Structure 1
Amino acid sequence: MEVGAQASDGLYFVGTKEELIAAKRTVLTLDGRDVLIIHHQGEFYAIDCYCYHAGTSLQNGDIEDIDSQRCITCPKHKYKISLPAGEGLYRGRDRSQDPPPLRWFSKGVKQRVHQLTERQGALFLRLSAGGWVESDYYQGEKGRVERERAASQDSGGKDDSTE
């Protein structure tokens, strides 16, 4: 089966387990949606590729454990996103205690996560559906235009393909 091919049960073939382990991070476009598949410390995760905050690619984001949750950090603005649930996390003072200690809080689900299934050494992905999640914006046409404009500004307005 070809990578990205959709099976009759709505699952997309995304590669063999060995290929995805070796790659560590893979970006695939499935049904017009860019998905980042990550293998980290024996676990697989699949999330929308672009950060919910400003559309920066998460492909090169650092991965760390925060408050017992595996998270990816957006490389541009340092937003923290839990890989299993897509929750945006932030550090703040817990005003319910005196003195108020710093702790991690959830902003709620901000990044769409997708379900991975393994069958005989092959991995399949089901795109999640349902209500609006903020990362959905950067999967649409307006978000794509905004990502391209930001990338052009970051490179000083130069077209990197000609250098």
Structure 2
Amino acid sequence: IFTENPSRMYFIGKKEDLIQAKRMNVTLDGRDILIIYHQRTFYAMDLQYAGGSLELGDIEEINNKLCIVCEGLYKATNPAEKVPIPQWYSKGMKQKVHKVTEVDEDIFVTLSNCPGWVESDYYQTEKGRAELRKAQEWEDGEEDVNADEDV
């Protein structure tokens, strides 16, 4: 799904309120976005991925880049090295990242108009959203079954 007006800046909120919240979910032009305040910087990215929501994902610095830890990262060694040392690697860009702008203590997000398809685009479609709902219902059902076993 691509926005019809990709250069539009959407008002998200007051800077101080977003700093206090640290993370916020918003829907902009039908797209679910996660706004994060981390180390005095605001970030915006698609909220959903194959494993569900990134809302509670841990932020870590890996290979000098900030990452939200999910199954898109893995640790491996390069067998071509004389002494293979395990390092973190990424499966590549999976989420659309959006531009955050501050104007007079107000925070705005401009949706990415980056061409090409990335995995998070799928979860913005009705089919992708339905798949996530089914997975959540299944997980909720599993929790109910496990709760019964504990009685």
SS in 2 for 1:155: helix
| Distance in 2 of aligned mates of 1:89 and 1:58 | 14
Structure with max Cα Rg: 2
- CA-atom RMSD in angstroms: 2.0
Aligned equivalent of 1:144: 129
SS in 1 for 2:52: coil
Aligned equivalent of 1:65: 61
Higher helix share: 2
- How far did 1:55 drift? 4.5
Aligned equivalent of 1:98: 82
| Distance in 2 of aligned mates of 1:103 and 1:60 | 24
Q: Which runs of 4+ in 1 moved over 4 A?
A: none
Using the TM superposition, name which of 55-64 and 133-142 deviates more.
55-64
Q: What fraction of aligned residue pairs are identical, expressed as a percent?
A: 51
| Distance in 1 of aligned mates of 2:133 and 2:51 | 9
- Count of matched residue pairs: 138
Aligned equivalent of 1:122: 106
For 1:71, the aligned partner's letter is C
Deviation digits for residues 108-146 of structure 1 (CA, Å, limit 9, x no counterpart): 221110000111111111100221011110111010000
Aligned equivalent of 1:24: 22
**Structure 1, unaligned runs of 5 or more:** 1-6, 80-87
For 1:103, the aligned partner's letter is Q
Q: Which has the higher contact order (CA 8 A, sep 6+)?
A: 2
| Distance in 2 of aligned mates of 1:46 and 1:122 | 15
| Distance in 2 of aligned mates of 1:17 and 1:153 | 38
| Distance in 2 of aligned mates of 1:106 and 1:59 | 19
The two structures have a TM-score, normalised by structure 2, of 0.84
Aligned equivalent of 2:12: 14
The question of whether the paired residues in 2 share the 8 Å contact of 1:152 and 1:158 is answered with no
- How far did 1:47 drift? 0.6
| Distance in 2 of aligned mates of 1:157 and 1:145 | 18
The two structures have a TM-score, normalised by structure 1, of 0.78
